[in-house]
Structure 1
């Protein structure tokens, strides 16, 4: 149907404007970490916020107060999860993935590529995007916790850039794929 009533249109305008304004206020109060590009968990929260806002605006059976409470609940839960993640390593390990080493000292790590479902072509695309022509010029290529691929050029030893990324263990080569899973 193309048109139900003027009151339906007015409800969408009023509820949409108020819900949007409230969401902006909630997000500002909760801080920058509420909507970050970190991992799948954060993506789920972002999608849930969008779905809730959409339901609030378009579904007549959802009262504005209920929708605002749902938005506030999602944001509060996200805030709580990030708060706990910063303070507890075991909790952080439960909800967040780790970066994964895809190239180590110029060598592909096939096991990590398979586990993370990343193709060699995707690695090469990231390497080319950084203007690098040869893997031997790289210290590492890392699949980050947000799904992006970082390229780390050879640098001075001990620069700390790869401190949180697992390396192949002793007696194993990079081709053994001995990096931690995300």
Structure 2
């Protein structure tokens, strides 16, 4: 009987601790997880699971291991929030696998993704032919985001007999107060143009901008950092 009581107490204690830790670390532990998030969640579960079946491990040791691992994950997430350059290493980065209707084979190869897998991911977004897709982006969580060709969008322009417009992929120019110069060069603009666009919206410094994106035939879209109330 004591054996069952000990197992039950360790399970209940582990459940409570894991719940607290995962809630503290944020929603990415539950959905849209990156490979790093998956490993983190897996190790947290293993720490408690092994402790339950090893009766030489005490509750305080479970607490120490789970809390320490949770602290390591927390500071890792904090680093990725503060320093944008670390995100590529720790979280990965999105990759364009279909560009203007053309499959980027080199990108598929480097992402360890074959055509059948790509088709499956595209179907999950509601498009059953690669011909319907103008852009497809492989996200860090393994899902694919799809921008369909204009005539295949919902509702379909062809069904409404309306003239179609070319699809344009939004380009991120500023992220977390830092200019993405490679993206700025890709769209054919320079820093002087960017500063003029920001000035039109009352922005004088890049660090004021949380996010800014450019899309052809549209003005520069940006979100500023929220001002802290005194």
**TM more than 0.5:** yes
Do the aligned partners of 1:85 and 1:92 also contact (CA within 8 Å) in 2?
yes
- What are the within-5 Å matches in structure 2 for residues 1-182 of structure 1? 6-154=1-149, 160=170, 163=172
Indicate the structure with greater strand content: 2
SS in 2 for 1:126: helix
- Shift in Å, 1:159: 6.0
1:69-115 CA-to-partner distances (Å, cap 9, x unmatched) read: 11111111111111110110222222121111111111111111111
1:36-73 CA-to-partner distances (Å, cap 9, x unmatched) read: 53321111111100100102222111110111111111
Do the aligned partners of 2:125 and 2:145 also contact (CA within 8 Å) in 1?
no
**Consecutive unaligned residues in structure 1, runs of 5 or more:** 1-5, 171-182
Equivalence for 1:179: none
How big is the alpha-carbon RMSD for the aligned residues of Structure 1 and Structure 2?
2.7
Report the CA distance shift for 1:38/1:126 in structure 2 as closer, same or farther (over 3 A). same
Work out which of the two has the higher radius of gyration on C-alpha atoms and give 1 or 2. Answer: 2
C-alpha separation in 1, matches of 2:94 and 2:25: 26
1:130-152 CA-to-partner distances (Å, cap 9, x unmatched) read: 33354343231121101122222
Aligned length: 162
With normalisation by structure 1, the TM-score equals 0.76
SS in 1 for 2:64: helix
